[in-house]
């Protein structure tokens, strides 16, 4: 199961760092590619040479290696990893990870990592029991990181109790279990729409809107991080994702509908966050329209509502989630759409909230379920909003 898995092993300043040598050996023996990041504190307990020899890769100790002049790109390292393991995690690194402090390569890679992160604390009994350490652990767990709990035993200080890093064999077992258990949405298929649609008037002009696609991409990425297989049908956007998404690019509402009709049967969860044009030109001119008369009337027809179409087709095993972007009587309109389109959840954005809406990096949402129970969220980054949305959907899965 570990064969060809890319693993970053962070080693911090703790006497337990001597066990990292065995850990690297076990991981490499199981077929994993291991790259070690050693903090300055860690280097007091184990040499880079030992870890480099065992991992068969140079050991990373700082952003910039003075001798070689090589810059260690934390973002690249973070993206390379399938799993990040911090073992031992010292109380100091634990606190940095919990607060987003990033004063060394290890914490920078942690912040850049897009993979599951497992941490195995090692510290003295009283440090372990301290309220701030426990609060930091709670924080890390709330971010989705996985704790490999320390065991009881004799500690380097001579004290007896909790704080001893888990044994390398147990850490490998924990990692194997994590891989096999997978993530909450492993094996689930999700369909997400994002971005605007462009309705062609002639070969050079179109009717569009200001949707950036940021919200839909953030939702698709969050689902992918939860282990789902995500199909993202997106209108024209500058957004990109480094995650593995089955991306289908479309331009018009009709193309988005066709793609969704083709994909929706496979999906167990569908989130329609695209800002689909409600109207499209009755005809599209094949040549550029010349400005001849002083007035110009464009005849439009309604597009098909993709969300409502899927609402009619969906089965009991499918969850359908829509958005409502409103400027007045927000809650009434949202509830009306929830019923009319046969949705399980509706996410209301109000353009009256500063910081919400198109092109922004933040959003403020209210979610209604079928029983009209509402959950109001604060203004947050779209990445955090995506997490809130996925958490609400997870409750229905
Ligand atoms: N939607 C859709 N297809 C359309 C129009 C809208 O799938 N042709 C979806 C959007 O992706 C969103 C939801 O419907 O999830 C609500 O979109 P919104 O523009 O707020 O509402 P409309 O249904 O278009 O109603 P109105 O414009 O009257 O507010």
Tens of pLDDT, residues 382-392:
988 999 999 99
Say yes or no: 224 and 128 in one domain.
Answer: no
Say yes or no: 78 and 119 in one domain.
Answer: yes
Query: In 3-state terms, the chain is what percent helix, strand and coil (to 5)?
Result: 35, 25, 40
pLDDT confidence of 79, banded at 50, 70, 90? Answer: confident
Amino acid 154: pLDDT? 77
C-beta of 278 in contact with ligand 1 (< 6 A)? yes
Residues with a known catalytic role: 209
Which span out of 45-49, 172-176, 238-242, 294-298 was modeled with the highest average pLDDT? 45-49
Q: Whose CA is nearest to atom 14 of ligand 1?
A: 307
Q: Could you tell me which residue, 284 or 160, shows the higher pLDDT? A: 284
Give the pTM: 0.65
Say yes or no: 123 and 264 in one domain.
Answer: no
C-beta of 325 in contact with ligand 1 (< 6 A)? yes
C-beta of 133 in contact with ligand 1 (< 6 A)? no
Residue 376: its H or E element: strand 374-376
Tell the residue number behind the tokens 């027809």, with chain if given: 301
- Cis (ω within 30 of 0) for the bond into 259? no
Say yes or no: 163 and 225 in one domain.
Answer: no
| Cα-only R_g, the chain | 26
Whether 350 shows a pLDDT value over 90: the answer reads no
- pLDDT of 262-286, one tens digit each? 999 999 999 999 999 999 999 999 9
pLDDT confidence of 181, banded at 50, 70, 90? Answer: confident
Angle at 185 between CA 181 and CA 189, to 5 degrees: 130
- pLDDT of 182-199, one tens digit each? 778 988 999 999 999 999
* Centre of ligand 1 from the C-alpha of residue 267, in Å: 20
Cα(361)–Cα(67) distance, integer angstroms: 41
388 is in an annotated binding site: no
Cα(138)–Cα(143) distance, integer angstroms: 9
Number of domains in the chain: 2
Amino acid 70: pLDDT? 65
- Cis (ω within 30 of 0) for the bond into 88? yes
Say yes or no: 294 and 214 in one domain.
Answer: yes
Is 28 part of any domain? yes
Say yes or no: 177 and 193 in one domain.
Answer: no
Q: Are 383 and 357 in contact (CB under 8 A)?
A: no
Amino acid 331: pLDDT? 96
For residue 166, what is the DSSP state?
P
Cα(313)–Cα(281) distance, integer angstroms: 27
Say yes or no: 175 and 211 in one domain.
Answer: no
Across the range 94-119, mean pLDDT stands at 94
- pLDDT of 291-342, one tens digit each? 988 999 999 999 999 999 999 999 999 999 999 999 999 999 999 999 999 9
Say yes or no: 142 and 200 in one domain.
Answer: no
Going by C-alpha positions, the residue among 313, 327, 226, 318 that lies closest to residue 271 is 318
Helix axes 253-263, 306-313, angle to 10 degrees: 20
C-alpha distances in Å from residue 225, one per residue of 80, 195, 245: 15, 20, 11
Cα(219)–Cα(345) distance, integer angstroms: 14
* Centre of ligand 1 from the C-alpha of residue 323, in Å: 7
Q: Which of 181, 202, 226 is the last residue of a domain?
A: 181
Amino acid 315: pLDDT? 97
Q: Which of 156, 181, 206 is the last residue of a domain?
A: 181
266 is in an annotated binding site: no
Amino acid 67: pLDDT? 63
Give the structural domain span for 174: 6-181
Say yes or no: 112 and 220 in one domain.
Answer: no
Is 317 part of any domain? yes
Q: Whose CA is nearest to atom 4 of ligand 1?
A: 305
Q: How high is the mean pLDDT of the chain?
A: 92
Q: Are 248 and 235 in contact (CB under 8 A)?
A: no
Amino acid 290: pLDDT? 93
Q: Could you tell me which residue, 93 or 359, shows the higher pLDDT? A: 93
Whether 72 shows a pLDDT value over 90: the answer reads no
Structure tokens at 305: 């509502």
Question: Which alpha helices (DSSP H) does the chain contain, by range?
Answer: 18-29, 48-55, 74-80, 91-99, 105-112, 125-129, 131-142, 168-181, 214-225, 253-263, 306-313, 330-340, 382-396
CATH of the domain at 87: 3.40.50.1950
C-beta of 272 in contact with ligand 1 (< 6 A)? yes
pLDDT confidence of 71, banded at 50, 70, 90? Answer: low
């Amino acid at each position: 199961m570990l064969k060809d898995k890319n693993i970053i092993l962070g080693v911090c300043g703790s006497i337990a760092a001597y066990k990292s040598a065995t850990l690297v050996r076990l991981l490499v023996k199981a077929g994993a590619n291991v790259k070690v990041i050693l903090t300055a504190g860690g280097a007091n307990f184990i040499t880079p040479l030992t870890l480099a020899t065992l991992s068969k890769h140079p050991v990373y100790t700082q952003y910039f290696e003075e001798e070689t002049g090589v810059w260690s790109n934390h973002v690249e390292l973070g993206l390379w990893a399938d799993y990040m393991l911090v073992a031992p995690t010292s109380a100091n690194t634990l606190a940095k990870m919990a607060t987003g402090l990033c004063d060394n390569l290890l914490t920078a890679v942690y912040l850049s990592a897009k993979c599951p992160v497992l941490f195995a604390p090692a510290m003295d009994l009283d440090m372990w029991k301290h309220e701030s350490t426990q609060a930091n652990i709670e924080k890390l767990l709330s971010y989705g990181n996985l704790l490999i709990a320390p065991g009881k035993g004799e500690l380097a200080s001579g004290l007896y109790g909790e704080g001893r890093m888990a044994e390398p064999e147990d850490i490998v077992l924990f990692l194997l279990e994590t891989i096999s258990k997978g993530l909450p949405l492993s094996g689930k298929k999700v369909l997400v729409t994002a971005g605007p649609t462009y309705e062609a008037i002639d070969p050079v002009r179109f009717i569009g809107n200001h949707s950036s696609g940021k919200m839909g991409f953030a939702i698709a990425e969050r689902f992918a991080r939860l282990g789902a297989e995500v199909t993202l049908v997106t209108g024209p956007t500058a957004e990109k994702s480094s995650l593995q998404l089955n991306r289908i690019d479309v331009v018009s509402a009709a193309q988005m509908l066709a793609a969704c009709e083709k994909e929706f049967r496979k999906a167990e969860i569908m989130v329609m966050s695209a800002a689909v044009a409600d109207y499209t030109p009755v005809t599209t001119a094949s040549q550029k329209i010349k400005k001849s008369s002083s007035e110009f009337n464009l005849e439009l027809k309604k597009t098909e509502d993709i969300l409502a179409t899927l609402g009619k087709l969906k089965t009991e095993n499918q969850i359908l989630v829509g958005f409502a972007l409103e400027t007045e009587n927000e809650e009434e309109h949202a509830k009306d759409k929830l019923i009319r389109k046969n949705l399980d959840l509706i996410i209301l954005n109000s353009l009256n909230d500063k910081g919400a809406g198109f092109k922004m990096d933040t959003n403020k949402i209210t979610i209604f379920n079928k029983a009209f129970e509402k959950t109001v969220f604060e203004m947050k980054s779209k990445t955090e909003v995506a997490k809130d949305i996925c958490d609400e959907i997870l409750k229905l899965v």
